[in-house]
Amino acid sequence: MSQEMDDLYVKQIQDKFEMCMVGELSYFLGFQTKKINEEIFTFQSKYAKNLMNKYGLESACAKRTPTPTHVKMSKDSRRTNVDKSLNRSIIEGLLNLTASRPDIASAIGVCVRYQSCPKNNHLLSAKRIIKYINSTSEYGLLYTLDTSSSLVAYYDVD
pLDDT per residue as tens digits for the range 74-98: 787 788 888 889 999 999 999 999 9
How far apart (Å, rounded) are the C-alpha atoms in residues 27 and 113?
A: 32
pLDDT of amino acid 157:
67
User: pLDDT tens, 14-58?
Assistant: 888 887 777 777 888 888 999 888 888 999 999 999 999 999 998
User: pLDDT tens, 92-135?
Assistant: 999 999 989 999 999 999 999 988 889 888 999 999 999 999 88
pLDDT of amino acid 158:
62
- Does the global pTM surpass 0.85? no
How confident is residue 144, by pLDDT bands cut at 50, 70 and 90?
confident
pLDDT of amino acid 24:
78
Closest listed residue to residue 139, CA positions, set 62, 59, 60, 55: 62
pLDDT of amino acid 77:
74
Closest listed residue to residue 101, CA positions, set 145, 51, 59: 51
Q: Is the dihedral of CA 67, 71, 77, 79 positive or negative?
A: negative
